[in-house]
Structure 1
Amino acid sequence: MVTVVKKSHKDAKEAELNYNVLDFKENLSLVQVNLKTGRSHQIRVQFASRNIHYTETKDMAKK
């Protein structure tokens, strides 16, 4: 299982990403995510820890 933990946790591993909001409408946003590290399930885990729900695009699924 992959979860967000404090830096001080003995099993902590750094996972960093940047994202830009490209467009938004009502309660939806189109974002571009750039990974600085490539941790397993990184986008899903980091967004979930901030209560951000997402759906992947076809372009994302290809990569």
Structure 2
Amino acid sequence: VVDGVSDVLTLEDEQIRPTPGLGSIIDTEYIMGLGTVDERMLILIDIEKMMSSSDMGLIGSNFN
């Protein structure tokens, strides 16, 4: 569930870096990479993968 969206950006391939190895500190399963725009660093999340995860608990018999 999203409360709001502040920006929608289109990134070129050269603005996207691979997900860094963070060891076991942070689960990077849903992180697609890191984006850079000017001085900003963005975490790119695979929304489709996250929303289809059973961990979200959004898909089930409660929604008919």
TM-score normalised to the size of structure 2?
Answer: 0.24
Q: Which structure's relative contact order is higher, taking Cα pairs within 8 Å and 6+ residues apart?
A: 1
Between Structure 1 and Structure 2, whose CA radius of gyration is higher? 2
TM-score normalised to the size of structure 1?
Answer: 0.24
